[in-house]
Structure formats: structure tokens, C-alpha cells
Amino acid sequence: MNDPRHLSAAKARLAAEGGPTEAQAREPVAGTRPIRSFVLRAGRMGSGQVRALAELGPRFVLPFWSTPLDPAAVFGRSAPLVIEIGFGMGDATAQIAAARPDTDFIGCEVHAPGIGALLQRIDERGLTNLRIVQHDAVEVLEHMLVPASLAGIHIFFPDPWHKKKHHKRRLIQPAFVAELVTRLAPGGMLHCATDWQPYAEQMLAVLGAEPGLVNTAEAYAPKPDYRPLTKFEQRGLRLGHGVWDLVFARR
């Protein structure tokens, strides 16, 4: 019988070497491949990230299942649940989870270096209210989260896909937003942020046209206190670049 610890270590090595992730292994047959909002790249992982993935992954990284998740069983309690889609290196994710201990968080990310980095932050801060799923968020929402189960959804600085021919890859599209709405509980918040103005304008148009959402501001919202400034964002603000937050509530 395979030892789960050995399997976890093997997964860590595979991720560190840029090998295929579960999402890649489950690609559909030729001719039916969906448009994805991300590109899997073989990012290099530091030794600390590799170690965190091997040692902490079995506890904090949830496997992708095609059946609904039981948050109470995962976290050992019943609490509001927030999912973050695409957390990058996880600094803001860990800060938010630390500042809101009464809320449980699931971070959804496909890139192994970011997962390793967030696991390090979880360990450093002793966080117990944060878990990770390394899988395509579209499929996580569809299969692992039941309708009206989320108190919030965070989508901070998704890839803007600058070229017009790539706009179809942008995450914030009407069909995806409609799916997000079904997973939000009434009154649940959808919070998006971007530093690319054309994408901010598209976000505002798409979210504003979704009948299941209502804008909490006239247009763009002031940055909520719970969202920390990233180092990249701080640098951009010093250079005069804009950042746009959009906070919508489910009706």
C-alpha cells in the first residue's frame, strides 16, 4: 500500500520540477478544450517552498473533488466562508486570514511557487482558518462549492490579458460572474480589484449588468480596510498608477 506521506512528497517534487498539475492531467479531449484565464508556467520553487509543500501540504492543501466540500469538516467549525481566486504569492491572503480569525478562507491557485509561499505564511502566522486548493477555480466553484455557501469571493489583480485578441481569457466574464452569484449567500460580497483601467471598466460593466448583484458604491468602491496593499501595488501608487476596487453584494 502506498504511504500517503510518500505520495505528498512526490507531489511536491513534481510541482517543484514544473511537472504536470492535476489540472493539466485532467485536460479534456482534443477539440473540447475550454478557454482558460491562466497559463500554467514552470515556476522555480525555493527550497523553503518545496519543504512547505511537502510538510504542510497534506494538512492545508485540499485535493480537488468532483463532490461538494464540507467546510465544517475541513475547518472543524461552522463559520462564514470566503474563497479567493488566484492569490499569487499569498501575502495578502495570509494577512486577511490573520485579521479575520472568525472567518474561514479557501485560496484557489494553480501555480506551485505561490502555494508553497502561502504555506510558509500559514506556518509563520499559525493560521488555522485557511486552506488551499490547487486547481482551476472554475471547476472548484462548479463541483466543490454548493449554492449560497459563500459569504464572500475575492478576486484581486487577475491577469488583465492586455491584447484585444486575448480579452476572451479574462476571468471576469458574464457567464462566470453568473456562476459566482449562485455560490454567494444572499448579502455575500464579491470583491474585485485591478490596476488596469480598461479591465476595471469591463469589470464594472459586467458586474453592473448581472441582475443578481448590486453595487455597494456609485461606481468604484474605496479600498476596504481588510484588503492590504501589496508591494507591487504600493510601488504603482508611488508612480501614480491607479487601482480600482469593485465591491458588489448578492441581492
The three grid cell numbers given for residue 216, joined into one nine-digit string: 455597494
H or E segment to which residue 105 belongs: strand 104-108
Q: Distance of CA 191 to CAs 30, 65, 99, 172, Å? A: 35, 26, 17, 12
Q: Are 220 and 191 in contact (CB under 8 A)?
A: no
Q: Among residues 3, 104, 136, 159, which one is catalytic? A: 159
The three grid cell numbers given for residue 211, joined into one nine-digit string: 441582475
**Sheet-wide strand order for 61-62:** 61-62, 130-133, 104-108, 81-85, 150-156, 184-194, 244-250, 213-215
Closest C-alpha among 232, 229, 231 to residue 245: 229
Catalytic status, residue 136: no
The three grid cell numbers given for residue 64, joined into one nine-digit string: 480537488
List residues with catalytic annotation.
159
